[in-house]
Structure 1
Amino acid sequence: MMATIHAAEFLATFLKCLQPSSPSSRVTIAVANSGGPDSTCLLFLLSRLRPPVSVVSLHVNHGLQPASADMADRAAANAASMGIPHRTLHIPWGRAPFPNRPVPSTPFENIARQARYNVLFRGMTYSGASILALGHHADDQVETSLMRLARGSTLVGAAGMRRRRRWGMGQGNSTDDLAWVGHPGMSRFIIRPLLDFPKDRILATCDAHALNYVNDPTNLHPETTLRNAVRQRLASPALRTTEPPPLQQDTSESLKQIKRASTFLQSIATDVTDTRERLRCATSLLAERAEQLDSQVTEQLQNCTLPSPPSTLLLSSPKLLAVDGPAVRFAMVLRVMRYVSFHPWGSTRADGDRRRAGIHRIMNHLWPAEPSVVSLERFTAGAGVLWTPVLYSHNKGLKIRSESLSHLEQPCGGQSAWLASRLPPFLKNPQEGAGSASRLSVDLTEQFILALATSRDVLQVLYDCRFLVRFDLTQIPKHVRDALNNAQDQPISIKILPQTDYFWPKVVLRKGSDPVLVLAVLDEKGGTDTLGSRPWISMEWVRLLDAT
């Protein structure tokens, strides 16, 4: 008989998900409650935790299946039986940014997933939760690892889903995109407390505590998605409802790749006899190695980083050369790109789309095969990041490299370094990218007029996916307020424009044909200068060098 999940071992895995957050502070966690066994078990185990944990239940009703209403009812009933507040969220198909309701006969899994995460993010925010808990388990992790390996992923990618990750700004291209969440996503997290437990133990826990649940019928259709096909073939005979039907040609070819990936994955954990348990152990080992790699990268970046202007990262060349191991170097480049990039933090574009050719090109510059010769050319290789060879001196600051020096040599008056900064627009046009989240010229006039008309106290703008510009409207100077109130008599505009070679934000006001009036700029120390006015504008660098 399969063992149930005990409260003590669940607490241990749950606390790992909270790190480095302090478990002593009150935490509100929203659970994505589908009404199925995984989320029902997760909801139950979380409900047994003592304060300071507060739990809310969220169910997304896509309205795309005949069973949708039954699943919504079961999710609500389960939460009620555990005394947990519950909300059923409906997807407003056809209302921007949501597309029209998908036609059942067409593939809709990806768009349904994006829509589900969008409403879950809104729901957790409305419920006061900073963390969303998902019911992914050890067998889901195996499926993810196999599918990634079959697509040619590295071992880091094959480690699968993270136990804890920051939500990030989203994968969207603009604020009107379904996959966009913006700056609030930098303070929201997704956790997966059940990753250490197989499906069998989850079902045993549900049975032992008489937890009612429903199964999503689409999970049993291998012809629907590749993941479902993999799931059916990995499932034990006891969990299979029917024998897998014949597959389409493209899915069949993918499964051949996955079979080869399975053979490789099993070779990592040779001391286990059972095939499924061997796959679980292998993915667990890879996940542990990925966490160790994250720690190594954090330590190395701290050691290599030199003081530099806001929004940039300066890495000491001699210290970089001391970094050993291609995996650590690869991960360091990814971390730097995500930090400096103007693409949404956490998106694949901020990682240079993880193109190995581009990342290896960067590595070849930072860690040349012949350390005796240093590249003196600036270059870019993805993620909108410009790499510039410089000399750094504590007293003299930065100087573009112009002389050939050994990578190991400490040049007179400074040390060799690489500066990572935002890539200038190709056409040097601040309006380039208009309509996207990373545009450099942002007109805030209408937002200001609306905010004042509705008596809002604060207006916040994420500028270039890099800076949070905050306006305290209770402290707005009289001449700015008067200009906005008289906008019908004299055209005005309030804009954020780029300044300096690093494209820092600058807030300007223009009335009619009058000269542009600068209201605030970012100073060289990363603070905000409101140029003599009382401090009503603040500018904050929001990108992180963290792994998650």
Structure 2
Amino acid sequence: MAGIGPAPILFNEFFQMFMRCMPPNGWPVNSKIAVGNSGGPDSTCLLFLLQKLLTDLRSKTMARQSIPTSVVSLSVNHNLQEASHSMAARSAANAAAMGIEHLTLDIPWGTPPFSDKPVASQSMEQVAREARYHVIFDGMARTGAHSVAFGHHADDQVETSLMRLARGTTELGAGGMRRCRRWGMGTGDVEGGLGWVGHHGLDRWIIRPLLDVRKDRILATCEEHQLDYVNDPTNFQPEITLRNAIRQMLTLQEEGKDMVLSLLIITQSALSGLPQHISGSLEKIKVAAADLQETTMDLEGGLHQLHGAVKVLSSRLEDVDNEVTFHLKNLTLPSPPSTLILSSHALPAIVDPTVRLALVLRVMRYVSFHPWGSLRADGNRRRTSIQRIIDTLWQSDGAPPFTAGGGVLWQPAIFSAKKRLRVGTQCLGRRLQLGERFAWMASRLPAVPYNMLDTAILPSKLDIDVTERLASATSRGDDFLEVLFDCRFLVRFDLSQIPEELVEALRKSQETGVNVRIKPHTKYYWPKVVLRKPSCVDIAYATLMDNGQIDTFGHAPWVTMKYIRLLDAT
């Protein structure tokens, strides 16, 4: 007798999956959610379930304020293979059949910020991914979507975990993709460049409601509801990407072949001609999986075992996030803006190496001048560097100031609620007075010594000429102008209160050479707005002070400065 096939996803079941993906502060009122629609079975299933769910819940008063109100379908035409256009057309047709707003996003290769069309190589996957995410974020902005949902499922989660193991990730990375995460500032430092998002990415979210669902259940759902879809032919070409090679490896194993034999077939026979970086990565996966401490990830145990192992790692990731959040609330002392001071005496209570690692990464991401959410803000997660930070912070006898990546300076400190804060080498070997405690301060790594800030040539992100932007905004009659400074501060100009003499200076700037700039001051590199005249001392118009307030030097409060980096886990 034939066995019972996989069950389709039930609507009540999907509701629970979807609500587990809700951002920490909930869904904004009357928000719109986008779906990354490739035309394949995963995104088609997700689009159908989400549209059905929101349609059903819109009539229920209890849910009106807690879920998005509409869906928009976004598909990307990569223009990298012949099937690109047909898949984009299928995506649009599926959305139309469901009565869903749709937008097709073409990648214009060769038009800045996009590079020339990539060819099959080790970097093609990363270039295509950055281009895809760039146009998707643009599509979200154009359609007003607060979040984007992707159809990644449990099988994808296994593949992602194995890919990260091949790249030398920690067990935190091996936990795979998060159900819900902030988009982040992107991967590039150049404003307007590929991968750059800036501060707008801190207010948008990526969710993955189907992460606990196997692929076979998604296919069963498509069959149950007669959903039409296409399969991307490149998903079955292991020589193109590491993910495809892993997928083929797992498919061979699922079909009943011995895993060791499968690896041999992939690397030597059936898939002969694989690029060396892919075949080498497959070998690294086996070694890294065997070294995991939290769970047993046996590549010869089959997909069922791998799903269970990755689920353990994902759950562990959530537990560690919660534990780090708890410890940071207890460890953090009042700190100057843009810095973080951790009480040393409470650090030894954290004994779990994984929690220590996650705490250090959280602090680095908060303080770093690299884009929030990027690997560079985490010091590229280099194990030796991060371990050096952990070893130094958790030793009891103190250490001189040091850096170990991520653009973060770690300094010993002595904190007193009533006296001034002491930071740096002056704290070494010093006896504590009544009411004092030892601490560590994490702050931005200086680009040049503080006493050279007014004379040194600084990178453009630290010396921003906003003259043209201010002039254009005022001539258009805009209410506000926002500028991200050093990937850390959002400087906001209220143009209705801009000093009249500055408006006049902007009008004549091309003739006089006068310009308005945002530049750093203090050893913490806080922003300062100045008017610069040729052969004259800069005139300060607004600056951030120790208490977080803004000094506008007697003018109306026309400039605000907000530190926007987050200590959140996602």
With the length of structure 1 as denominator, give the TM-score of the two structures: 0.92
Q: Is the aligned partner of 1:161 residue 2:177?
A: yes
Q: Aligned ranges for residues 301-450 of structure 1 at < 5 Å?
A: 301-368=328-395, 371=396, 373-375=397-399, 377-400=400-423, 402=426, 411-426=433-448, 430=453, 434-435=459-460, 439-450=461-472
Q: Aligned ranges for residues 218-229 of structure 1 at < 5 Å?
A: 218-229=234-245
Q: Is the aligned partner of 1:466 residue 2:470?
A: no
Distance 1:116 1:76 in 2: 17
- Structure 1 contact 15–23 (Cα < 8 Å) conserved: no
The one-letter code sitting in structure 1 at the alignment partner of 2:76 is: V
Q: Aligned to 2:13, which of 9, 20, 40? A: 9
Q: What SS is found at the alignment partner of 2:193?
A: coil
Distance 1:309 1:491 in 2: 35
- Structure 1 contact 310–524 (Cα < 8 Å) conserved: yes
- Structure 1 contact 233–244 (Cα < 8 Å) conserved: no
Q: What SS is found at the alignment partner of 2:426?
A: coil
Deviation at 1:264, TM superposition (A): 6.5
1:320-349 CA distance string (max 9 Å, x none): 122221111111111111101111111111
Deviation at 1:104, TM superposition (A): 6.8
The one-letter code sitting in structure 2 at the alignment partner of 1:221 is: Q
Deviation at 1:249, TM superposition (A): 6.1
User: What is the aligned partner in structure 2 of residue 492 from structure 1?
Assistant: 514
Q: Is the aligned partner of 1:31 residue 2:27?
A: no
The one-letter code sitting in structure 1 at the alignment partner of 2:426 is: S
Distance 2:171 2:510 in 1: 61
User: What is the aligned partner in structure 2 of residue 190 from structure 1?
Assistant: 206
1:184-219 CA distance string (max 9 Å, x none): 011111111111001111111001100000111100
Q: Is the aligned partner of 1:256 residue 2:283?
A: yes
- Structure 2 contact 168–288 (Cα < 8 Å) conserved: no
Q: Aligned ranges for residues 37-48 of structure 1 at < 5 Å?
A: 37-48=41-52
- Structure 1 contact 522–529 (Cα < 8 Å) conserved: yes
Distance 1:502 1:213 in 2: 54
Deviation at 1:360, TM superposition (A): 1.2
Deviation at 1:105, TM superposition (A): 8.7
The one-letter code sitting in structure 2 at the alignment partner of 1:164 is: C
Distance 1:399 1:110 in 2: 45
User: What is the aligned partner in structure 2 of residue 64 from structure 1?
Assistant: 80
Q: Is the aligned partner of 1:216 residue 2:232?
A: yes
Superposition RMSD on alpha carbons, in Å? 2.6
1:133-167 CA distance string (max 9 Å, x none): 11111001101111222333221111011111111
Aligned pair in 2 of structure 1 residues 104, 330: CA closer, same or farther (>3 Å)? closer
Q: What SS is found at the alignment partner of 2:145?
A: coil
Deviation at 1:69, TM superposition (A): 1.5
Distance 1:116 1:270 in 2: 31
Q: What SS is found at the alignment partner of 1:353?
A: helix
Deviation at 1:179, TM superposition (A): 0.8
Distance 1:196 1:496 in 2: 47
Distance 2:457 2:476 in 1: 31
User: What is the aligned partner in structure 1 of residue 312 from structure 2?
Assistant: 285
1:274-311 CA distance string (max 9 Å, x none): 72111111111100000000000011011000001100
User: What is the aligned partner in structure 1 of residue 502 from structure 2?
Assistant: 480
Distance 1:24 1:120 in 2: 20
1:360-405 CA distance string (max 9 Å, x none): 111112101xx3x222x11111111111111111011301363555
Aligned pair in 2 of structure 1 residues 319, 211: CA closer, same or farther (>3 Å)? same
- Structure 2 contact 402–410 (Cα < 8 Å) conserved: yes
Q: Is the aligned partner of 1:95 residue 2:134?
A: no
Distance 2:545 2:510 in 1: 34
The one-letter code sitting in structure 1 at the alignment partner of 2:413 is: V
User: What is the aligned partner in structure 1 of residue 272 from structure 2?
Assistant: 246
Deviation at 1:502, TM superposition (A): 0.7
Distance 2:340 2:173 in 1: 25
**Structure 1 or 2: more helix by fraction:** 2
With the length of structure 2 as denominator, give the TM-score of the two structures: 0.89
User: What is the aligned partner in structure 2 of residue 78 from structure 1?
Assistant: 94
User: What is the aligned partner in structure 1 of residue 61 from structure 2?
Assistant: none
Total equivalences in the alignment:
537
Aligned pair in 2 of structure 1 residues 264, 44: CA closer, same or farther (>3 Å)? farther
Distance 1:232 1:449 in 2: 57
User: What is the aligned partner in structure 2 of residue 175 from structure 1?
Assistant: 191
The one-letter code sitting in structure 2 at the alignment partner of 1:190 is: I
